[in-house]
Structure 1
Amino acid sequence: VEVGPAAVSAALGRVQKMLDDDVSAGRLDRLAARHVFNRLSPTTEWTGLELADFVVEAVLETMPAKREVFARLDRVVRPGTVLATNTSSLRVSEIAQATLHPQRVIGLHFFNPVPKMPLVEVVRGRQSDDASLATAVALAGKIGKTPVLASDAPGFVVNRVLIPYLAEALVVASQGVPITDIDGAMKQWGMPMGPFELLDEIGLDIAAHVLRELGGRWERPPGVEAAICEASNRKWLGKKTGVGFYLHAQAKPRRRRQPQKLVVNEELSRILSGGVGSGMEAEAIQWRLVLPMVNESARLLDERVVDSPETIDLAMVLGTGLAPFRGGIVKFAEDAGLEQIVDRLEQLSHQCGLRFEPAGLLRRAAAQGRLLSQIAQADQEPNQAPQRNEHAAEGALPRG
């Protein structure tokens, strides 16, 4: 269901291109691709939805738009139909409140590019029932995705952990460190692309929206605010407009398998840094950007957004490509030693601000010489209520 004929045409074009790519790559033969395309029923009307068993919404990422769609869906679909939102940052429980049957509303968050990314976050809202969640998990597996179950907290798993990393990259660049040095350091650490390459891939408009929604502990330096405003005003939105932190439109075509060298958008880089230049060792950059992810992962466990450290590690590897050889962000922290992690966070907290204050779970684990999973499990023993804060999860998951 699309909003108008032009949107229908564009959607069909995108599907056709994906199928053509599958045929070219040998993943589908041409007849199978045609059968897939013929199963589509594009429309601008809400007719036929009463036959659906599962509906996925992917409208504008604003709460009023989501609630309007779900209120209408709730009236037209069958009683047993599961309603899923593809939101990346809004509360599923708040969306569900627009319906008379909130138990069938769940989150089903895919990652871009959807045909290539294997992860999907299945999100339990405050009133989501087990049957709806089980149906979503089964559907994800049937279409070749790896589902991870999360409770309803801002950013769920991947965005919640990733945003502090991207935010700190912007802060480091605002202090004069070249964005190419930052990107290079993180690729050296094992990330598939640097944070500024990733921001351009996501889209600077979307990234700015998510940073506003999830960056509660982050105070934006003047250079970051100025750069975001300039990028918005000039339509420097990243790869999709050809210009972001890099000049994608000016990159010369290269032969296949040769790395494409990106050209820096010097004007935006200068606004971000305030014209100041400074150096920072690659290892120092890496710790500045990795430690916020470790800290946020500990908070996710403390709030029971996920049921285990392994869930976070799987989600971050599959959802971001985070250095697979490191085993995930929690595994990296435990391999490095939690005492060292806490010491480094405390040092950075004194140098850079309270955003580096070690999470309580990290402090307890380091003090007791135990793993995060052991401390999180002990904290949820009978007669002990889970700790809550401004990021507290709704529909928190039991330890298992």
Structure 2
Amino acid sequence: MMLTVARALADRSSVGEALSRRRPAREGGAYALIFDDRRGGGRFAGVPIAVKDLIDVAGHRTGCGSRVREDALPAARDATVVARLREAGARLVGKTALVEFAFGATGVNEYEGTPRNPHDRSRIPGGSSSGSAVAVAEGSAAAALGTDTGGSVRIPAALCGVVGVKPSYGLVPVDGVFPLAPSLDHVGVLAPDVASAQVTLGVLATLGERGRAPRVAGVDRRALEESMPEVARAIEAALKRWGLELRDVTLPDLAATVATSTTLMYYEAAAVHRVTLASRRDLYGNAVRERLERGLAISEADYRAAQERGRSMYDHIERLFAEVDVIAGPTVGFVAPTLVEAEAPDMSTRLVRHTRLWNVVRFPAISLPVPVSGLPVGIQLAARTDGDAFAAATSLEAALSG
């Protein structure tokens, strides 16, 4: 059973039961490091929160899921998001496993261990915030911090059947978070339900005005047409139960969006790792090393051109939000692949196909599970403001549970 923030606050015995579920990633569990850190009271007093091991927690090494960081010193201070959780009284219960340096979407990590999908342990959890999604789905944390540069909160949320929030760019501070691509990086939240995600994000940042209840949802039918039939059916059934006016919209070309995002991400990631890659190349995993070396080959002119394309995509989405309140579609167009299927060279590209746009244009996007009889399916809702995104997610969640 998943543990909501409300239940953790109301029933202290549920927290002890939750903590007993923690397992290390080397055993297929969610955690790179397990600990129990409680400091005083507050509105989140005793609520168990897991933290992606890309985010500094004072006194613990930030391992980033990489052999490169094995000799890193413990963090001297908390990242701002962790400090804010402590101030609210949260109980930090461990650092969660991830794809090496958050640079990948499958959740696979050969160095540290791959968390297994709680719904079928032969399948991947998605990434890069793999352990954070598993911690929430297995009920060992009431919420977890993740990072999202191209879908790394929303993809594992969809594959593991939890809520994943990528807020608007810049809403949540990223100091004390190891960067992947600074112009695309977001700190996000994974949680069992929308209310838990919203209250947790409210500890990390000021959410601003309450959003408007949505009336019109935009849908790009191409995303449904290219999805697995069971995913498309689940999304269409959820939209029907929601009861909003549906309006066809055309999003920027998905392949072009992924290509633009790849140029931005790889170029910036290569800049972050340039010095370390030169001196410790052999310590990087093969997949990440290859991506970084591809980034080193991208010219500044190509990077600037990708930035310009990103601005055009932003303008395109702004025009759509003048016509619709929310844009809905599949978070991922298929259910969680098996570990063997995840070895396909194009798997990460397929996983990020519907998520990367929202990092490029910087609008908030939330993935939440829809009713299915088999493996989890996530619907992605994007809106102009964080308040509007949460209003839409709350509305849909209520419609699906009613």
- Superposition TM-score, scaled by structure 2 size: 0.31
Structure with the bigger RCO (C-alpha within 8 Å, sep 6+) is 2
TM-score, with length taken from structure 1: 0.31
Q: Give the structure with higher Rg (CA).
A: 1
The structure whose residues are more often helix, as a share, is: 1
**Which structure features the higher share of strand residues?**
2
